Amino acid sequence: MADGPQTDLLKTALYDRHVAHGGRIVEFGGYALPVQYKGIVAEHAHTRDAASLFDVSHMGQVVVTGPDHATTIAALEALTPADLASLAPGDMRYTVLLNADGGIEDDLIITRPAEGQEPDGVMYMVVNAARKHHDLDLMRTHGAADITYDLRDDLALIALQGPQAAEVLSRHTDIIGKLGFMQAGPATIAGVAVNVSRSGYTGEDGFELSVANTDAPKIFDLLAADDRVEPAGLGARDSLRLEAGLCLYGHDMNDAIDPVTAGLIFAIGKRRRTEGGFAGADTVLSRIAKGPDDKRVGIRFEGRQPVREGAELVDANGNVIGRITSGTFAPTAQASIAMGYVPADIASEGEAVTAMVRGKPIAGTIAKMPFVQQRYYRKPA
Amino acid sequence: MTTRYTTDHEYIRAEGKIGTVGISSYAQEQLGDIVFVELPAVGATFKKGDEAAVVESVKAASEIYAPVSGTVTEVNDALSDEPGLINTDPAAGGWIFKIEIADEAELEGLMDDAAYADHTA
């Protein structure tokens, strides 16, 4: 059995709430966070059926400030391959921070504040917990001199995810009707200033609420008091994102893998694919032109045996041809599912693959991702 | 009939020469939802402490060690379709395998109910 969490871990503003709700606390990204409350499978199912509350305050919320919008956008486009110039106020974009070799230093979401929400030249960014200080160093070192990057450790981030999330939140704010998937804006909930994003990492409709640490428990309690809402931990978050086909940094991608190989070409703006001008552009653009050697794929295995990170994929002669980067027995898909890397020539749906688990071969098939249909809310045009 | 526990949270319930092995209620709660069990082969022989089975939750795989030396006489095939029996009924329906105990003296080195309760307190 695992030992209890280390004592020197950071705590989010909601730590006491996790303990009060019976959360089992573990270390994640340097933080003491709940891996589960009642159970991973129940929390996973509740997120798909109703709405779950997740504390994602460990993630790095960064405010980027430049002298004006164009200057800030130019600086961020030098660091990432996203088309950020085309972001309308209140729009969010998923992208990656790249090194000079095109390797992924982190994945992140960049948001253009809503009209009038911030002075001209300000953008928001959310990066991974374990990478936030690394990312800040990288951006400050390679970024333009007239841009500042402020890590907002004074802010908490609460995710409300699931098909009933919109109804639940609508009781407290009218901003919901204005937001489609990957759109954000300011709201007041129970007298508290909240930046509401229609986003998340579960494959469901949902919201992420950025709120001052001091106000976070109040917002958490307000939402947790709704009969439709249950708290959920990191375990469910991981199985939900895997079913949704979403990558986890440090597992499904890292600084030696470029976004083309990782299947994240959608994180590279079309304009940027012709213009370049971002860190790692040479490698990334040539990889797009020639095609990658390996590709990230989804795999469905026969039976119930989970095939986890690190498991090797072998060919008929037992030669290692690839590796699993995430895998579990998926609660909603009711199947052993995984992500991993295989040579591009076999990276198509329906190809047979074999994984080795404790010396035994497990038969699988390359499968379409997501494993469970994403149900994001698209605003009618 | 005596039930004994290992420090790794396996139990063995001995009836004569045959011991029924599973994991304690404390252990199943710590592991969380069990989604897969790799059972040993009937006829397999283990020394005390050998890896005999694997129990997997959504998050992780955990080895189950033979609490005593012996030969596997029966495995709980119901776990193949319903691994969650280990969560719902660890002491009875969620048993994992039965072992013919090679040396009953090995049982004496394991914890009884009271000692195990202290161990998990």
C-beta atoms of A41 and B58 within 8 A: yes
Q: Which B-chain residues 14-33 have CB contacts (< 8 A) with chain A? A: 27, 30, 32-33
Q: In the numeric block, which tokens belong to residue A295?
A: 């590709």
Q: Which residues of chain A does CATH 3.30.1360.120 include?
A: 10-55+154-243
Cis peptide before A370 (omega within 30 of 0): yes
Q: How many CB atoms lie within 10 A of CB A91?
A: 16
Task: Check if A359 contacts B (Cβ < 8 Å).
Answer: no
Distance between terminal CA atoms of chain A?
Answer: 52
Q: Which A-chain residues 214-273 have CB contacts (< 8 A) with chain B? A: 235, 238-239
Q: Which residue of A has its CA nearest to B59?
A: A235
Report the pLDDT value the prediction gives residue A93, as an integer from 0 to 100. 98
In this predicted structure, the answer to whether residue A122 has a pLDDT above a threshold of 50 is: yes
Looking at domain A293-381, its CATH superfamily turns out to be Aminomethyltransferase beta-barrel domains (2.40.30.110)
Q: Which of A2, A305, A329 sits opposite B58 (nearest CB)?
A: A329
Rounded alpha-carbon distances, angstroms, from residue A220 to A186, A211, A237, A381: 17, 10, 17, 33
Q: Are A32 and A11 in contact (CB under 8 A)?
A: yes
- Chain B neighbors of A234, CB-CB under 8 A: none
Task: Check if B9 contacts A (Cβ < 8 Å).
Answer: yes
Residue A208 labeled ligand binder: yes
Q: Which residues of chain A does CATH 2.40.30.110 include?
A: 293-381
Q: What would the pLDDT profile of B97-117 be if each residue is shown by its tens digit?
A: 999 999 999 999 999 999 999
Rounded to an integer, what distance in angstroms lies between the CA atom of residue A367 and that of residue B8? 38
Q: What is the mean pLDDT of chain B?
A: 96
C-beta atoms of A40 and B36 within 8 A: no
Q: Are A143 and A78 in contact (CB under 8 A)?
A: yes
**Topology of domain A10-55+154-243, CATH:** Gyrase A; domain 2 (3.30.1360)
The share of chain A scoring above pLDDT 70, in percent, equals 98
Task: Check if B74 contacts A (Cβ < 8 Å).
Answer: no
For an interface test with A, give the residue of B5, B34, B35, B65 to mutate (most A CBs within 10 A): B35
Q: Which A-chain residues 10-29 have CB contacts (< 8 A) with chain B? A: none
In this predicted structure, the answer to whether residue A1 has a pLDDT above a threshold of 70 is: no
**How far does A344 lie from chain B, in Å, by closest CA?**
29
Q: Which residue of B has its CA nearest to A331?
A: B58
Q: Which A-chain residues 22-81 have CB contacts (< 8 A) with chain B? A: 35-36, 39-42, 44
**How far does A298 lie from chain B, in Å, by closest CA?**
18
Q: What would the pLDDT profile of A144-188 be if each residue is shown by its tens digit?
A: 889 999 999 999 999 999 999 999 999 999 999 999 999 999 999
**How is domain B2-103 classified at the architecture level of CATH?**
Beta Barrel (2.40)
User: Model's pTM, two decimal places?
Assistant: 0.95
In this predicted structure, the answer to whether residue A265 has a pLDDT above a threshold of 60 is: yes
For residue B40, give every residue at least 6 positions away whose Cβ sits within 8 Å of its Cβ, in sequence order, or none: B46, B52, B53, B72, B75, B97
As for the ipTM of the complex, it is 0.90
Each domain of chain B, given as residue ranges in start order, spans: 2-103
